[in-house]
Amino acid sequence: MASSRQHSSGTVPATDGLTVIGQGIHVHGRIHGEEDLRIEGRVEGGISLTETVYIAESGVVVATIDARDVVVSGVVVGNVSATNSVSLEPGAKLVGDISAPRLIIADGAAFRGNVAMTEGGSAPPKRARTTTSRSSSSSTSTKTKTTKASRSSSSSSSTSQSRASTAKRSTPRVAAIRAPKSTARPDDEVTVIVKHAALSEEEEPKASKSTKKKAKKSPPRGRVPKPGKRRVNRR
Amino acid sequence: MANTVIGSTIVIDGEITGDEDLVVQGTVKGRVGLRENIMVEESGVLEANVETATITIHGTVTGDIQAAERAELKSNCRVVGDIRAPRILIADGASFKGNVDMDG
């Protein structure tokens, strides 16, 4: 104990730039700031820092602590919330709830309370990725379809007409997006239309499906080699 | 025993009591009651009623000061409040507004 006490006082010397609440000091109230704080005395109330709070072995804190890192060697009664880590050293006593991404409890530390180690906000990006991958895959598959369809365009002219009809149906919905692409690349025009039709199938609610299903069913008759392409895509 | 230091970015809103030296570089609001020495450095702001043995002020103090031994106002300090101490030293360049009571 004695050696560790010397060690702890040696690692954090009481020099300028470091705030120390000494052993003989009792603070009753709120402490907040943007630098390390070492507590060897007694603090009651609240502590909120952007840096590290050290509670030395002689320190007693009856307060809600909010900091980046909290290192406890003494006694803390109150909830502790850290944006980085909470560390309970040997000899530490903590009664209260801990909320931090990282929690280190050493052998010899006493703790009673709840722990929340949650880090929030991973769901929204996943959704975004899945939607983009879907749209890209659908667009690539439609491109291959259209190229092969154009090879056999002489035989399946009726198919292209049916596609054009789907395009006319979908134009009011995607007019703003479709217009610039069609002007830039006249060859890809059919591709773009089919792509948007596929997108709108996924996105739009059931009410408009009835009209689309008719449009959806008619093109596959012309696109006989569809399963073959899928195999090619997988390879 | 290590000095107690209130660093420049630290704000304490409440009461500080104890029996060891206190160095204030940040801000303390409320009440300070010590049996030892208080040093308010140039960046330090004390908005509090102070009871102490001695106080040395380089920074700003707003509030009543009661020192059992000595109160020293250094140059460039700003003090607003009543001072009560047996020995009061005010340096050239110090700014002070309030009553002085040297009865002890």
Whole-number Å distance between alpha carbons of B90 and B71: 8
- The verdict on B19 touching A (C-beta cutoff 8 Å) is yes
Paired tokens of B90: 């005010």
The vertex-B23 CA angle with B22 and B29, nearest 5°, equals 80
Amino acid at B54: T
CB contact under 8 A, A24 and B1: yes
The pLDDT score that the predictor gives to residue A17 is: 57
A75-77 and A93-95: which strand pairing?
Answer: parallel
Backbone angles phi, psi at A34, to 5 degrees: -130, 40
Q: What is the mean pLDDT of each run of 10 residues along chain A (235 residues)?
A: 36 56 93 93 94 94 95 95 93 93 91 81 37 43 45 45 47 45 47 46 48 49 54 51
- The verdict on B53 touching A (C-beta cutoff 8 Å) is no
A68 chain-B contacts, CB cut-off 8 A = none
CB contact under 8 A, A27 and B16: yes
The pLDDT score that the predictor gives to residue A177 is: 45
* Average pLDDT along chain B: 92
Paired tokens of A216: 């959806």
Q: Tally A–B CB contacts below 8 A.
A: 87
| Mean pLDDT confidence for B71-78 | 92
The pLDDT score that the predictor gives to residue A191 is: 46
| Mean pLDDT confidence for B35-57 | 94
B17 chain-A contacts, CB cut-off 8 A = 25-26, 28
Please name the residue of chain A whose CA is at the shortest distance from the CA of residue B13. A30
Helices A123-151 and A189-203: angle between axes, nearest 10 degrees: 140
The pLDDT score that the predictor gives to residue A218 is: 52
The pLDDT score that the predictor gives to residue A117 is: 87
Evaluate if residue B46 carries a pLDDT over 80: yes
Please tell me the pTM assigned to this model. 0.58
| Mean pLDDT confidence for B85-90 | 92
The pLDDT score that the predictor gives to residue A136 is: 43
The pLDDT score that the predictor gives to residue A213 is: 47
The pLDDT score that the predictor gives to residue A126 is: 37
For an interface test with B, the pick among A6, A31, A44, A58 (most B C-beta atoms closer than 10 Å) comes out as: A31
Region of A191 (left: φ > 0; alpha: ψ -120 to 50; beta: rest) is alpha
Provide the ipTM.
0.84
| Mean pLDDT confidence for B51-62 | 95
The pLDDT score that the predictor gives to residue B2 is: 57
CB contact under 8 A, A27 and B1: no
